[in-house]
Amino acid sequence: MLSNLGTTKLPEEMQQYVTRIDFIVGPLSYNPVTCACVAYNGLLCVNFMRTIRESYVERYFFTSLVKLGIHVKIESNQLSMLRGDI
């Protein structure tokens, strides 16, 4: 499942306090991997959530972006993924 909020804008008086916006949709019982996107201030944040161990979907997605020459920065709360174990 993919949810895309598109480009988000904030009132001018708030912009100096916000550097990034994330959008997260939890995994569903019938779909173990979800993806949520939001753009703010020229930065696109793509968040994956899953209830399964395998990270094939995320790996394929980000590998495809890199092959297209798009700069990717990956952040994870999964230690084994950060170490490259999976």
pLDDT tens sequence across 28-81: 888 899 999 999 999 999 999 998 888 899 999 999 999 999 999 998 887 655
CB neighbourhood size of 40 (10 A): 19
9 conformational bin, left if phi > 0, alpha if psi -120 to 50, beta if neither:
beta
pTM equals 0.77
CB neighbourhood size of 46 (10 A): 19
Burial class (CB in 10 A: 0-12, 13-18, 19+), 38: buried
